[in-house]
Amino acid sequence: MTEGTILEKLKAGDPSGLEALMDRYLPYVSAVVWNILGHAMSPQDGEEVASDVFLAAWSQSDDLRPGHVKSWLGAVARNKAKNKLRHLGRTLPLEEDALELPGADDPAGDIEQAEERRLVRRAVEELPGEDREVFLRHYYYAQSVREIAACMALNESTVKTRLRRGRLKLKEILTKGGAFGEA
What digits encode the pLDDT tens for the residues 136-154?
878 777 778 888 888 788 8
Check residue 99 and give its pLDDT.
Answer: 43
Please state, in angstroms and as integers, the Cα–Cα distance from residue 139 to each residue in 47, 132, 148, 156, 174, following that order: 28, 10, 11, 16, 17
* CATH fold match for the domains 3-87 and 107-176: no
Beta-strand ranges (E) seen in the chain are none
Domain 3-87 has CATH 3.10.450.40: no
Q: 27-60 burial, b if ≥16 CB within 10 A, otherwise e?
A: eebbebbbebbeeebeeeebeebbebbbebbbee
Determine the Cα–Cα distance for residues 94 and 58; give it in Å rounded to an integer. Answer: 31
The CATH number for 107-176, chosen from 1.10.10.10, 1.10.8.50, 3.90.1150.10, 1.20.1560.10, is 1.10.10.10
What count of residues does the chain have?
183
Check residue 123 and give its pLDDT.
Answer: 79
* Burial (Cβ within 10 Å: 0-12, 13-18, ≥19) of residue 140: middle
* Burial (Cβ within 10 Å: 0-12, 13-18, ≥19) of residue 125: exposed
Cα 34–90–165 angle (5° rounding)? 120
What digits encode the pLDDT tens for the residues 16-34?
999 999 999 999 898 888 8
SS3 call for 82: helix
**What are the extents of the domains in the chain?**
3-87, 107-176
Whether 58 and 18 have beta carbons less than 8 Å apart is answered as yes
pTM above 0.95, yes or no: no
Which ranges of the chain have pLDDT less than 50?
94-106, 178, 181-183
Q: Which amino acid is at 18?
A: L
